[in-house]
Structure 1
Amino acid sequence: MTRIFAQRSAYAMATSAMALSMGLAQPLFAQDVAPQAATQATQEGGLTDIVVTARKREESVQDVPVAVTAISAELIQRQDLTSIEKIAARTPNLNVGRASNGSGAQLTLRGIGSSSTSIGIEQSVAVVVDGVYYGQGRIINEGFFDLGGVEILKGPQALFFGKNATAGVISLTTADPTSTPEFKARAGYEFKAQQAQAEFVGSGPLTDTLGVRVAVRASKMYGGYYRNVSTPIQYPTLDIATGATGFSVANPAPEEQPGEKELLGRVTLKWEPTDRLTATLKASGSYNKTNNNSWNYVAYNCPSGESQLNGYACARDFVTHQNKLPAEFAAQIPYAKSDGSLYNRYKSWAVTANINYELDDVTLTSVTNYNWNNNRWACACDFQSSVASNWATENSTFDAFSTEFRALTSFDGPVNLMVGGLYQKTKRTFDQYIVLGGLTNSAAAPEDEYLATRKTSFTDGETVALFGQATWKIVPTLELAVGARYTHETKDSYFTQPYNNAGVAAIFRDQNDPDGLGVITADQTFNNWSPEASLTWKPVNGVLVYGAYKTAYKSGGFSNGGINSKLSADPVADLTFDPERARGFEGGVKTTLADNQLRLNLSVYSYAYKDLQVDFFNSPIFAFQTLTADARTKGVEVDFEYAPRAVAGLNVHGSINYNRARYTSFPQAPCYAGQSIGEGCNIVLADGGVRQDLSGQPLSVAPQWTGTFGASYDTPMGNGLMLGMNADVRYSGAYLPSGFGNPDSRQSKYATLDAGIRVGAEDDRWQVALIGKNLTNRFYVTGVVDGPSTGGASGGAIPAHADQLGFGTLPRTVMVQLSTRF
């Protein structure tokens, strides 16, 4: 009791201090273009320049014909933006939904993203780390720390970033060694999850030409963000070999979730033997483990107000209801914990070598990378445990080798070129073990006794790409850039279900199935040209007007975690899907005004998407399928940043965004679970399936209005001390997390408030900070699934809707952080 009282008292004090900081800073909101609050800017006021690499060269953010949200290293530290989810939570028009299985995430930008159902679907928002593409949704399990900056590039970015950037790019740059010795340590404690963090960075020269940087971070939760309130379940079983029935006990998962443990490390070597040559080698590793892989799944809207599986009240709250695997099952199932505990364990490592060589008029750059990750989990895969529960374990590994070479000219003449090529080789292996319907088989091999089915699959991929761009300064103030990227890609895949319990033999094919379709293979080849052109005009200093035509391509592929259903006439078509393409226009005005005190930017865009990949579970044939639809996004974005010289250290910033994202053609879209004829599920297919027409309806996670507004203020306090404060709000209009128009999934409009207060030395030797996120404690979802085993058949006369299980985000968090530099 003493410990609980002390924790609650500390939390109350922290929240009170946060409220005080908001009062001092006044109720302000979150920015779109990050403030660069360096010491010089604090003393003199005015804006500092933001350098980005949106076109694979260093340029001012105000000089590139791309809508960019840039986040500085200082802001990353100030607001603890140390994951893709935390970055999305403060960025308008960007959402990240954390999913338990499938691809592990749904990244959505300007309303374009892919559902998390299939592990084979790559994200429409590409994640790039130190110039290397990481295409898997599991990237959200990486902890990103000690960063040099983050750039969020909006709209198609195929020319410079390649495939799978149809919606945009999140580009992260890790910090390099410093020219002088520097050591930093940071410790933090977050009160809600009772999470302790520690971080250390050592950086400096080893010789006159060689520098090193070592960064390590560890964290552990003694509590959690979500509360699990389930009770023990008597799970009924049927031994298909003997006909015997019985019960097994499924005990509750831990009450506090996710109980995360994390260890991250990175070593960087930077060699500069001459003024012309720079070589950088980065090696990193990551370990992350939680006590449940679906800890953020919440039954937030149910037809009767209660779960159809377990009777718990459905509510928009940070509460789940999930149970462990029965212990006797877990003892024999591969990748299960011996006591049946749920978990998610993610491990990764990567090595990146970057070589930059500058000739008189040409810069040569080479980027070579190898990255590997492995994800294992045990899941309560109906996400609200009951006597009808099902569980699964999974082991999946992904590795990729890539090398890119490019040359950039810098001639004095009006025409310059960039040319380059990329080679990438990838491999994904996948194994899954599923408990379903209480089916057991005492006559099976020990590892299969408690399984209904298991899957094994792999995909080998190879990509070759060539790209180039020519820039022509027609006159000193007018530049035309024209380029294209050619991509040739192959994917060779394999899938089978090597064991099926006889109780599901009428549904699933296994590898020895007599119809010859027990093993599915696919050899896919994709070719794509993605051209791009932009025109920029600088009529006066500080003003850029631009227009661009862009195209992009997203890889087709193979659903490694699908189902080989006997009810399907074409299982190969169920498991394979076509590429996604985008084309359209973007234009805007970027201005730096008022003696470099005000940035004011406007962008407008309209993009058409062909064969947008939409994944769903086709319940009549018991198969996962990826359909394609056509869509369009169009919108307007305005952002500003103001740093008055009259009040040095003050930065006011904000944005407002309008986005209309709709299907333009989806005439045979899936119905949502239990959708009736009167609700639009009235298109009968030749195979007896029932569909709906979603043409003109909104895409998933596509609010029409989003915005941010906020301020930060840093000022000397005297006696060598500095005081800093910030307060930021992010607003989102209402949207449907469902990609199938399910009105029950609706997420209403919301606003979240982040704030912080800092006191430290003027020379940055030490600092104490209080960092608060989602201080309004607003529950909202960024993805959804129809609750498994809930609802009724679609296409009936009477609605029979499923429970809505949303991917919830983080509740109110308050962290105290101590930093020192020596």
Structure 2
Amino acid sequence: MDVKTGISCGALAWALISFADPAAAQTGPETEVVTGVDEVVVTARRRDEAPISVPVAVTVLGSEQLRTLAVDSLQDLRAVTPGISVGEVSGGVGGTVSLRGVGTTAGSNPTFEQTVAVNIDGVQLSRGGAVRVGQIDMEKIEVLRGPQALFFGKNSPAGVISITTADPGRSFEVEARAGYEFNAKERQLEAVVSGPITETLGGRLVVYGADMEGWRENIAGQAAEAANAIRPGSVTGATSGGPQQSFFFTRGTLKWEPTDRFDARLKLSYAKNEGIGYNQAGGFQRIYCPNGAPQLAPQSTVLNGGTPNADLAKALSVDNCRPDATYANGNINPAFLVNSPEGFTDPSGAGDYSQQLHSLELNYRPSEWLKLTSVTGWAKNEDFRVDTYAVAPSDAVAANDFSGNTGYIQFTQEVRVSSDLPGAFNFLAGAFYESSELETYTRAISAGSPLFLHNIDGETQSVFGQVLWDVASTVELAGGLRWSKESKDFAVSREGVPQPVSPASADFENTSPEVTLTWRPTDRLTLYGAYKEGFKSGGFAAATNTGPAFASPLNAMYLPESAQGFEGGVKALLFDGALRLNLAAYDYDYTNLQVNSLDNSSGVPVIRVNNAGAATVKGLEADFTLRLPQVRGLTIRGAANYNDAKYTDFLATCYIGQTIADGCNLLLNPSTGRYTGQQLAGERLVNAPEWTGSLGAAYSGPTAIEGVDWGMNIDTLYKSEYNPHPELHPGALQNDVAFLNAGVRVFSADRTWEVALIGRNLTEEFRVDVASNVPQTGLAARTGTALTGGLADLSGNVNRGREIMLQVTFRPF
């Protein structure tokens, strides 16, 4: 933060003190007040704290708000939380998440880890597979922004999404919920049974199932009659739409509290998502065509026996080349599935993903001031995928069709000890261990295609600690650090024959300190300033999916990513607790940002991973929640974020067709006479809008019918323009947008039944979170030259359209 910002925050703090409750005792954080707008406990510092007092920029969604907004997955978060971007991609990487414009970029590399970590019941998941599988029956979600290395470790330099799932209560309860979303023809059923088993043991079981026909319409079939009349067999089939998937989830929880000094919590969960191929379901659709229509001349030439046919190309060009609820992707050509190495025969492809996540948390309090915690986690992700990257009504080029399999197993163990002493000093210390195994491949479906199997074994060890010092009754100084060492071993085999790689192993070591000064002049006002560092380990990219045996050792290693900077904020409860206000300013420098992209310049998708030199991310964010005592049951909420996220040094590859005049003027290739690089210093980061914000209201109260209440909510989310393409192709630029969500519900006063109508994206706006080049389009030979007209078409992952869901809930007990 600069001096001007610091002075402004200080002046604002004094102004807020005058509005804070003058009668509030000048006590420390142990006497925090939890009000009607501040009731959710935050665990951002591995302690139970009220949001008003925790010195962290965090957005908390409690169970009631999650249910009201029908949030069942990470992808649902982007519809209700400003400043977060969540996108799904094909391949084993699963998806991408970014906060404050920092996150994993586009691509399909399953070895790539997230810059925003997902933590579920204390178990940290750094892979994007968490995006694909929903998390049902959640108690709360904490979105922690900025580096979180001290308490959450590696792979959290941009933030953490911490999910706490529901535990059994002390009374028996049964809940059944059914939902139907009209536009996607999506059916949902959920059942929960929870309660005491014995006096000291409680159990909870949730089972959830959903089936969706899809909200996207596939118009590829519109090309069949004309194209097949010109060249029979050009269009061999297409699905009616997508995603066409089913989802099953179950979690069992046992909570044992034999004494007031010991408790144990065991959670076992399983999730499975099955559907057709991601691209056949419209996951990637054409979003930009520089020539005004899809570039299908290369495919039509192949279909026509090697002779160009303009009429055939025109007949295939039914795609409108914009993000919306339609797409034009054909199925896999059945001829290409003959003798497939997978033995797979369904031309609609497959996208089958599963996740097992188990955790055991033990808490022991040997005294009133000491707590010992152990969290053991085990996770297993598996995905099988068969897809075509043609992004066109016809699948003419076998090299565009791929199958893949990724298996990932992770074991984690964390132990920590924390104190709650009455004196000036308290502490937290712990150790963490992780062991992981990844096996993955992506290969062409064509018969005889070689199998390049990539194996990466990892081991992480870290120790961390923090000391809290109450310098005065209202001032806290907290300092700590985490030391981490991660080792990774890399191996590649081709048809079972080991291939040379160098290096074959690597160690990544890091020490991330954090210092926070917090002033709580009253129990309704908190001011804080912090210096933080973050770390994302380096690794190896599984970049090989076809080709001959290695003639020389493959170097697939990429460097670690790090962050350091300052953050400060003000949190206040004003007007007798009716208004909660949070303000934060931040300024971070990022080094060696890991960039993952899908390069189709050769016509065959190849995964590229490199490091951007440096970037700065600075900005201001604010949010408020207001409950007017004059209007009981009404809540007004809003948020705004100004985010200046720019590269300061990034020698990036050029996008297909980028000319010298367009900035492709670096890294001359002497053998071709063409430039291959561009400098993106001064440009905004991928998926980094300058402004995001939200404004909404919720109301609940009685109806004219005794014993029947009603409620409603309405929210608008805004984001300014941004670019989701890893090389910042100007054709991928997304205009600013406002999304509208609303809902209404009627329920019994005792909550035994409820009927809700939930709407999201009611104005049906479409934007792209992940963008890439369409294979077989553009003229790569014009890249880095003075010749224009070589731009490729672009495809992208488009957000879900309008959702209108009817939901009925029964709670007989």
Q: Give TM class, smaller chain.
A: 0.7 to 0.9
- Cα distance in 2 between the residues matched to 1:540 and 1:45: 14
Question: Does residue 538 in structure 1 map to residue 520 in structure 2?
Answer: yes
Give the TM-score, by structure 2 length.
Answer: 0.87
Q: Which residue of 2 aligns with 1:28?
A: none
Question: Does residue 728 in structure 1 map to residue 715 in structure 2?
Answer: yes
1:77 aligned counterpart, secondary structure: helix
For 1:143-222, list aligned pairs within 5 A.
143-221=134-212
For 1:564-575, list aligned pairs within 5 A.
572-573=554-555, 575=556
Q: Aligned-pair distance for 1:102?
A: 4.7
- Cα distance in 1 between the residues matched to 2:689 and 2:552: 36
Question: Does residue 604 in structure 1 map to residue 611 in structure 2?
Answer: no
Q: Which whole-Å deviations, capped at 9, do the CAs of 1:47-83 have from their partners, x for residues lacking one? A: 2422110001110111111111100101111111000
- Cα distance in 2 between the residues matched to 1:620 and 1:344: 25
Q: Is the 8 A contact 1:301 1:804 kept in 2?
A: yes
Q: Which residue of 2 aligns with 1:19?
A: none
Q: Is the 8 A contact 1:466 1:487 kept in 2?
A: yes
Q: Is the 8 A contact 1:396 1:431 kept in 2?
A: yes
Q: Aligned-pair distance for 1:250?
A: 6.1
Q: Aligned-pair distance for 1:749?
A: 0.4
Question: Does residue 471 in structure 1 map to residue 468 in structure 2?
Answer: yes
- Name which of 568, 571, 574 aligns with 1:590: 571
Kindly report the root-mean-square deviation, in angstroms, between the aligned alpha carbons of the 2 structures: 2.3
| CA separation of 1:126 and 1:85: change in aligned 2, threshold 3 A | same
Q: Aligned-pair distance for 1:332?
A: 2.8
Q: Which residue of 1 aligns with 2:77?
A: 87
| CA separation of 1:566 and 1:331: change in aligned 2, threshold 3 A | closer
Q: Aligned-pair distance for 1:264?
A: 0.6
Q: Aligned-pair distance for 1:643?
A: 0.5
For 1:263-662, list aligned pairs within 5 A.
263-294=248-279, 295-309=282-296, 310-312=316-318, 313-335=320-342, 337-360=344-367, 361-386=369-394, 387-388=396-397, 390-435=400-445, 448-449=447-448, 451=449, 453-498=450-495, 522-562=504-544, 572-573=554-555, 575-616=556-597, 624-629=607-612, 630-662=614-646
Letter in 1 for 2:331: K
1:59 aligned counterpart, secondary structure: coil
Q: Is the 8 A contact 2:206 2:251 kept in 1?
A: yes
1:63 aligned counterpart, secondary structure: coil
Q: Which residue of 2 aligns with 1:703?
A: 689
Q: Aligned-pair distance for 1:634?
A: 0.4
- Cα distance in 2 between the residues matched to 1:298 and 1:91: 25
1:572 aligned counterpart, secondary structure: coil
| CA separation of 1:571 and 1:314: change in aligned 2, threshold 3 A | farther
| CA separation of 1:819 and 1:498: change in aligned 2, threshold 3 A | same
Q: Is the 8 A contact 2:238 2:393 kept in 1?
A: no
Q: Is the 8 A contact 1:497 1:564 kept in 2?
A: no
- Cα distance in 2 between the residues matched to 1:253 and 1:130: 41
Letter in 1 for 2:585: V
- Of all paired residues, the percent bearing the same amino acid is 38
Q: Aligned-pair distance for 1:620?
A: 7.4
Give the unaligned 5+ runs of structure 2. Answer: 1-33, 297-315
2:522 aligned counterpart, secondary structure: coil
- Name which of 38, 48, 52 aligns with 1:58: 48
Q: Aligned-pair distance for 1:684?
A: 3.0
- Cα distance in 2 between the residues matched to 1:162 and 1:252: 48
Q: Aligned-pair distance for 1:690?
A: 1.7
Q: Is the 8 A contact 2:643 2:689 kept in 1?
A: yes
Question: Does residue 810 in structure 1 map to residue 800 in structure 2?
Answer: yes
| CA separation of 1:636 and 1:349: change in aligned 2, threshold 3 A | same
Aligned residues: 738
Letter in 2 for 1:333: S
Q: Which residue of 1 aligns with 2:111?
A: 120
| CA separation of 1:378 and 1:661: change in aligned 2, threshold 3 A | same
Q: Which residue of 1 aligns with 2:758?
A: 771
- Cα distance in 2 between the residues matched to 1:568 and 1:372: 31
- Cα distance in 2 between the residues matched to 1:740 and 1:711: 39
Q: Aligned-pair distance for 1:330?
A: 2.5
Q: Aligned-pair distance for 1:541?
A: 3.1
Q: Aligned-pair distance for 1:521?
A: 6.3
Q: Which whole-Å deviations, capped at 9, do the CAs of 1:445-475 have from their partners, x for residues lacking one? A: xxx34x4x43211111111110000000000
- Cα distance in 2 between the residues matched to 1:65 and 1:253: 53
| CA separation of 1:569 and 1:454: change in aligned 2, threshold 3 A | closer
Q: Aligned-pair distance for 1:763?
A: 0.6
- Cα distance in 1 between the residues matched to 2:488 and 2:156: 19
| CA separation of 1:270 and 1:620: change in aligned 2, threshold 3 A | closer
Query: Please, which moves more after superposition, 728-737 or 307-316?
Result: 307-316
- Cα distance in 2 between the residues matched to 1:487 and 1:247: 61
Q: Is the 8 A contact 2:487 2:506 kept in 1?
A: yes
Q: Which whole-Å deviations, capped at 9, do the CAs of 1:693-718 have from their partners, x for residues lacking one? A: 11111110100001000000000114
Q: Which residue of 1 aligns with 2:101?
A: 111
- Cα distance in 2 between the residues matched to 1:544 and 1:569: 61
Q: Aligned-pair distance for 1:670?
A: 0.8
- Cα distance in 2 between the residues matched to 1:158 and 1:645: 40
Q: Aligned-pair distance for 1:106?
A: 1.8
Q: Aligned-pair distance for 1:646?
A: 1.3
Q: Which whole-Å deviations, capped at 9, do the CAs of 1:647-683 have from their partners, x for residues lacking one? A: 11100000111001100111x2111111001101011
Q: Is the 8 A contact 1:110 1:633 kept in 2?
A: yes
- Cα distance in 2 between the residues matched to 1:620 and 1:317: 26
Q: Is the 8 A contact 2:443 2:545 kept in 1?
A: no
1:138 aligned counterpart, secondary structure: helix
Q: Aligned-pair distance for 1:616?
A: 3.5
- Cα distance in 2 between the residues matched to 1:96 and 1:84: 7
Q: Which whole-Å deviations, capped at 9, do the CAs of 1:117-168 have from their partners, x for residues lacking one? A: 2221101010000011111111112111111100000000000001000100
Q: Aligned-pair distance for 1:496?
A: 3.6
